[in-house]
Amino acid sequence: MPTLQEIAKLAGVSRSTVSRVINNHPNVSPEVRERVWKVIRELDYQPHAAARSLATRRTQVLGLIIPQAVTILFTDPFFPLLIRGIADACNARRYHLMLSLFSPGDEQRELYSRFIRSGHLDGVIISSTVIDDPLIPRLLKDKIPFVLVGRYPHDPQVNYVDADNRAGAQMAVDYLIRLGHRRIATITGPLNMIAGLDRYEGYKTALTNRGISFDENLVAEGDFTEEGAYQAMQTLLPQKPTAVFVASDTMAMGAIKAIREAGLRIPEDISVVGFDDLQSSSFTAPPLTTVRQPVYQLGSTAASLLIDLIEGKSEPPQHIILPTELVIRESCASPKNPGIHSAGD
């Protein structure tokens, strides 16, 4: 393996400058830093992790915590895309990523003591947590750098990255109203999770802004799974909605199945709108109208933000909201009885 001295000679700098570059020391010009890294890449030099950790008091390892059942993690296309965004950002900044899956309770407490508090990680990214997760106050108390994927309403000191869930849901429901729908049902996400709650609030705001009375009989809580949404849609069908806003594309698949089993057509009898714009959404029959959220960018932005916080390049708290947009496809149409308003209202 090449030595620091050999790298320094080829890069035209001192050995101490090479050391500062490897250890991410701020007092190196961008030009010199790039020149040194170019030589390191050409020689395929691998810094000794233990020695670097002692020098910098960092491990160059980030933890990703997703408190979801393993079956959900590997069946919902949202998570692989999010993880890819996080992993790509870590690789670009020369950090390693450790994925941790656990259930609430004793398993979470053991994980916290064994990995997070013991100093094995420089920081933590947490996704899909419940609003009142006890892990958040512990991280704040112990001053461990962390970033949430999802807005945190209880403490402004928490760093987070999120999609504009309320605005996205409001756009979706407003589109249905402009098509002429008045009996618009919704299958929410879990209302103890901020994504589920914010999308539900966006649904209600769209109705209020258009002067449509809120009807709790048109609301069913889902769990971000296809099976849960299938059951939720079955409870909504007796209410005779002409449209349904579903808080995720995965759940929309379950709703579509329930609608078809009831002998109804999409969009002729019921219009359906999802949320996520996963790749599969354009291949449904008919293709799904949905709200696009930048899932990959949520992951990459969260990882980049956490690394910036660890390296002192950003000051907490940081609150980043990424925009959403409505993607109109063929799963929506005006209702058979459009009422007093038209799609151009």
Q: What's the CATH number for 165-294? A: 3.40.50.2300
With vertex at residue 203, the alpha carbon angle to CA 201 and CA 204, rounded to the nearest 5 degrees, is 65
Q: What phi and psi, each to the nearest 5 degrees, are found at residue 41?
A: -65, -40
Domain extents for the chain?
Answer: 4-56, 61-162+295-321, 165-294
Token code pair at residue 253: 């698949």
C-alpha 195/C-alpha 60 separation (Å) is 30
Reported as a pLDDT band with limits 50, 70 and 90, residue 282 is very high
User: What whole-number percentage of the chain has pLDDT above 70?
Assistant: 87
Q: Residue 114 above 80 pLDDT?
A: no
Q: What's the CATH number for 61-162+295-321? A: 3.40.50.2300
Q: What is the pLDDT of residue 24?
A: 72
Given the candidates 2.60.260.20, 3.10.20.30, 3.40.50.80, 1.10.260.40, the CATH classification of the domain at 4-56 is: 1.10.260.40
Residue 267: cis peptide before it, omega within 30 degrees of 0: yes
Burial class (CB in 10 A: 0-12, 13-18, 19+), 212: middle
Token code pair at residue 90: 């870590």
Q: What is the pLDDT of residue 99?
A: 84
Q: Is 8 left (phi over 0), alpha (psi -120 to 50) or beta?
A: alpha
Task: Answer with the residue of higher pLDDT: 51 or 64.
Answer: 64
Task: Answer with the residue of higher pLDDT: 77 or 290.
Answer: 290
C-alpha 52/C-alpha 57 separation (Å) is 8
In which order are the strands placed within the sheet that holds 146-149?
96-101, 61-66, 123-127, 146-149, 160-163, 319-322
- In this structure, the strands spanning 96-101 and 243-246 are unpaired
Q: Which residues, in sequence order, are bridge partners of residue 327? A: 290
C-alpha 286/C-alpha 270 separation (Å) is 12
Which of 119-123, 137-141, 278-282 has the weakest average pLDDT?
119-123
Reported as a pLDDT band with limits 50, 70 and 90, residue 343 is very low
**SS3 readout for the chain:** CCCHHHHHHHHCCCHHHHHHHHCCCCCCCHHHHHHHHHHHHHHCCCCCHHHHHHHHCCCCEEEEEECCCHHHHCCCCHHHHHHHHHHHHHHHCCCEEEEEECCCCHHHHHHHHHHHCCCCCCEEEEECCCCCCCHHHHHHHCCCCEEEECCCCCCCCCCEEEECHHHHHHHHHHHHHHHCCCCEEEEECCCCCHHHHHHHHHHHHHHHHCCCCCCHHHEEECCCCHHHHHHHHHHHHHHCCCEEEECCHHHHHHHHHHHHHCCCCCCCCCEEEEEECCHHHHHCCCCCEEEECCHHHHHHHHHHHHHHHHCCCCCCCCEEEECCEEECCCCCCCCCCCCCCCCCC
Spatial CA neighbour of 218 closest among 193, 197, 246, 199: 246
Place of tokens 């390296």: 311
C-alpha 124/C-alpha 146 separation (Å) is 5
Mean pLDDT of the chain: 88
Place of tokens 């009422």: 339
Q: What is the pLDDT of residue 272?
A: 98
Q: What is the pLDDT of residue 113?
A: 65
Give per-residue pLDDT as tens, 62-108: 999 887 665 677 778 899 999 999 999 999 998 999 887 665 555 66
Domains 4-56 and 165-294 share a fold: no
Cβ–Cβ < 8 Å for 31, 11: no
Is the entire prediction scored with pTM above 0.85? no
